[in-house]
Amino acid sequence: MNPASALSSDPTRWRYQLLATLAIGTFVGLLMYLMRGRQFWVGMVYAQCISFGIAGCIGLAQAAVCRVLRRSDPDNPHLRKNWPGWRWMVPCVLIGAVVGHELGTVLAASLFGHSPQFMLAGTARQLLFGLGFTLLLSLAATLFFYNRERLHHLEVAHAEQQRQAAQAQLTALQAQLEPHMLFNTLAHLRVLIKRRPDDAQAMLDDLIAYLRATLGASRTPMHPLATEFARLSDYLRLMQRRMGERLRVDLQLPPALAALPVPPLLLQPLVENAIQHGLEPAIAGGTLRVTAHGLGGQLQLVVEDDGVGLGAAPASQGTGFGTQQVRDRIANQYGPAARLDLQAIAPHGCRATLTLPLNAAP
């Protein structure tokens, strides 16, 4: 009649324990009525008082034993969860069931003005039947609660393992992003050194400043959307060093969305793809536009360009890392609530739309 952690501070478990004890009392009350066929409500009140009396006494005995044992073994995880083990739990159930039955009888008798009829004062047959029934039901209920609590802890442990695995995957994906961006930038810098050494020097200075601002912030799981746009601005300044007037930039972030948390460098691969596959192959270059919108409980981040369009760029040595990396990160961070859509823009160009839950917890 007692859960494996009777003094749990979780309100949900407390409610479950109370409801389960009430259900046991109701079952016993109905059983007694079927056997005797009279005084339904009187028998039901007696059954409930005895049920809660037994549950309370077992719980107090269990808590007392765990408190004593923790003095010599304070780090025992089972004792910290209020479970002393079956070696101690069986005596707690036996003693608690008998004491709780008698206390419940006294309480119910006082409610009706009856003289209490104690189980221990009955005939040998009554004692054998009453004691056997009470102990059997108490042990069965304790075993049920123990298995339920054990299953709950296994579910919690499994959920924690899944959370840690997802976090490790997110960290690995983020760690892959930084060298990917850096290698691309260094490749651009290598070309610029041959053609325009002075501009290459200025770009190298910008790159050093960018890395100082970015690499530290990228170690955090989330940062404000305003910071994400600031890092994009830094990166695009690097790209403008190389492409000159061929790259025009338009960043639009409404102030109301600036503080929203997003994973760091989430837009970076989309911006790199737009430049590499859309704007660089275009002779006249074009405009890269990044905008943020709040729509129906969702945050939409849009990266679009008016370059050559999807599939129009010449074949490259790229790995296809960018969009897949973004999809993997949002799948791990948000699950099915987030998505990435790519579409062509008429007459030419490409739009990448990243949809995230607006109020998702980090």
Please tell me what DSSP assigns to residue 282: S
Please report which confidence band the pLDDT of residue 4 belongs to, taking 50, 70 and 90 as the band edges. Answer: very low
Contact 100, 119 (CB under 8 A): no
Q: Which residue has the tokens 């030419």?
A: 348
Q: Is the dihedral of CA 110, 111, 116, 119 positive or negative?
A: negative
State pLDDT tens for residues 219-252: 677 889 999 999 899 888 888 877 888 999 999 9
pLDDT of amino acid 177: 47
Parallel, antiparallel, or unpaired: how do β-strands 286-295 and 350-357 relate?
Answer: unpaired
Residue 272 pLDDT > 50, yes or no? yes
Q: How far apart are CA 231 and CA 218, in angstroms?
A: 10
Please report which confidence band the pLDDT of residue 3 belongs to, taking 50, 70 and 90 as the band edges. Answer: very low
Please tell me what DSSP assigns to residue 258: T
Residue 178 pLDDT > 80, yes or no? no
Q: How far apart are CA 234 and CA 210, in angstroms?
A: 6
Structural domains in the chain, CATH included, are: 11-160 (no CATH), 196-357 (3.30.565.10)
How would DSSP label each residue in 268-307? HHHHHHIIIIIITTSTT-EEEEEEEEEETTEEEEEEEE-S
Radius of gyration (C-alpha) of the chain in whole angstroms: 34
pTM: 0.52
Question: Is the bond into 179 cis (omega within 30 degrees of 0)?
Answer: no
